Structure 1
Amino acid sequence: MYKKNSTKSKLIGSLYLTLAASIWGGMFVVVKVVVPSVPPFLLVWSRYLIAIVALTLLGLQQHVHWHVEKKDWHLLISIGVIGQLASIVFQETGTMLANAQIGSIITATTPAFMTLFAAWLLKEQLTVVKLLAVTSATIGVILAGGGLHFQAHQTLGVLSLTVAALTWALMSVLLKKVPARYSALQVTTIGTLVALIGLTPVTLIVYHSFNWAVMLTPKVGGGILYLGIVSTAIAFVMWNKGLQLLQASQSGLFFFFQPLVGSLLGWLVLGEALHVSFVFGCLLIFIGVGLTLRN
């Protein structure tokens, strides 16, 4: 285990978090290809089903010790319910009621909430530098996304997305309270299983008449496999591992790479418009990340 405050652990943690957030940014491109054939909620359930298989196999390959002490179950289950279940459901609902651009911008408020939760639950010092870093990067995301504009009928979607940001931030901070004896892989597997169990009854009831054969087509099946293995199993483990190596308030800033990479890939792959303000937004995001790493 790396020393928490060492330069080496900070760099390695930063790498894990950057890769995880970047994978999630690229996920939006894959989702746009798959969603016309598979409804969002069913897609989330499918991701978790594939992910739990991948995580279990990886755990067996690495001889993970799966035993969890009775007193720790409450925390680990809460992490799964709050982050991998509630947050994702609210995010999908909000994106459906608003749109993807609004979703990426509002979700990017997560680091600000993480900083506040970390000060409250973990007693991490709320310094001026941390506040400046979060403010700079948040403004950067709004600029990169072309500004936050939404209609009155999208208000419920905006509220849902805000709850998604809050719950993901709370989950990320609660992860810091998990005892060090539990690996990132073990925590991720338990959280994913909790989410899968919670989503399965609703999925089977609502989508009982769905044409499941569509998932076996190369485009849809390949997309779901990518989302389940890479965007869910691998990225979640990386995010959780990165959180173990940095302070929660520092970790949140790397979440901004998600909308950044998503916008870039949307422009490169899907031909989506990229605003001039994107460059200035990127600059502010990098300034924010730079500030938190120097802190």
Structure 2
Amino acid sequence: MIKNYAGQIYLTLAASIWGGMYVVSKVVLAVISPIELVWLRYFVALLTLSILGLITRQSWQIRKKDLPLIIAIGIIGYSISIWMQFLGTQLSSAQMGAVITSATPAFMAIFARILLGEQITFKKALSVCLATTGVLMIVGIGDLGDSSRLGGGILAIAALTWALMSVLIKRVPNDYSQLVITTYAILVATVVITPFAVTEITTSDLQVLTQPKVWGGVLYIGTVSTAGAFFLWNKGLQIVTATSAGLYFFFQPVVGTLLGWLFLGEQVGLTFWIGALLILSGVLLVIKEEA
């Protein structure tokens, strides 16, 4: 029974882990810059995945014709999208970030139609609408008018590129291990980001990394939120259609808000529970259609 829903479980776990990363990154970003955190998380993730690959004796060979696809995944998703998400939020607000990036599933449906020929059924469209409404209720839309337009534009790029990357993963041949694909894509992103990160790191106080809460947070973000969650997301995309997979992205704001309430004392009202119910309804609707 569980095996029948493996893809859905992988995607739910990945999005939930990203939602939980909000609590940890809030502590770490108080003392180091976003680009430093991105580079450190990729360095730790790369080390973690490489060790796991060696232990499980993965085949690291990639056919030449598939290299451009893997490089594109690393640049579009892990480099551009992640950095645009940090930069856009910095120029606007976390609230706007949550609202605009919630458009990712809709973009995924469009790219899946264009690149994979997937059909956008009425139920899938309804599911995206329900879940998007749920996200808007959770994060609220009252203060969006005061946010920077530039930040909003950058966040839209982040949502667009993550959606494109997720659909490109569906084009990776199934005979490759997703652990290997994830490792190579993160390697590409690390190489791309390193020149920008070096400038920040050389001017920073590296002593802050010796603080237990900082290095502990970096290790968690690198191993669990990056190596683990990226692998789970890619593995889930191998099984579930791209259009449906996007819906599981909505678990991110639900888990993030819930953990913020539990550990950071942030307020959660009735709209959160209504929004969470709408998101769950959207996900269940698409699960029922594919059952």
TM-score bracket, normalised by the shorter chain, equals over 0.9
Superposed CA deviations along residues 15-38 of structure 1, whole A, max 9, x for unmatched, are 111111000000000011111111
Report what 1:172 is aligned to: 166
TM-score (normalizing by structure 1): 0.95
Match of 2:195 in 1: 201
For 1:207 and 1:64, locate their aligned partners in 2 and report how far apart those are by CA, in whole Å. Answer: 33
Aligned to 1:150: 144
Aligned to 2:92, which of 88, 98, 108?
A: 98
Report the CA distance between 1:153 and its aligned residue: 4.8
Rate the CA distance shift 1:111–1:97 in 2: closer, same or farther, 3 A: same
Number of matched residues?
Answer: 289
Instruction: Report whether the alignment pairs 1:269 with 2:288.
Output: no
Structure 2 gaps of 5+ residues are none
Counterpart for residue 109 of structure 2 = 115
Match of 1:286 in 2: 280
Query: Structure 1 residues 205-214 or 228-237, which shifts more?
Result: 205-214
Question: In the TM superposition, what is the alpha-carbon distance from 1:147 to its structure 2 partner?
Answer: 2.7
Distance, in Å, in 2 between the alignment partners of 1:149 and 1:59 is 46
1:62 Cα deviation (Å)? 0.7
Letter in 2 for 1:181: D
Alignment match, 2:34? 40
| Contact 1:10/1:246 (<8 A) preserved | no
Conserved in 2, the CA contact under 8 Å of 1:140 and 1:282?
Answer: yes
C-alpha RMSD of matched pairs (Å): 1.2
TM-score of the two chains, using structure 2 as the length reference: 0.96
Give distance in 1, aligned partners of 2:222 and 2:192: 17
1:163 pairs, out of 154, 157, 180, with 157
Alignment equivalent of 2:243, drawn from 249, 255, 280: 249
Cα deviations across residues 99-156 of structure 1 (Å, max 9, x unaligned)?
A: 2222122212111111111111100011111100001100110001123632355111
Alignment of 1:159-238 (within 5 A): 159-238=153-232
User: Which one of 17, 36, 39 corresponds to residue 23 of structure 1?
Assistant: 17
SS at 1:147's partner residue? coil
Cα deviation for residue 84 of structure 1 reads: 0.4
CA distance in 1, matches of 2:181, 2:166: 12
2:87 aligned with 1:86: no
How far is 1:285 from its partner? 0.3
Structure 1: 5+ residue stretches without partners: 1-6
Report the Cα distance in structure 1 between the residues aligned to 2:89 and 2:268, rounded to whole angstroms: 20
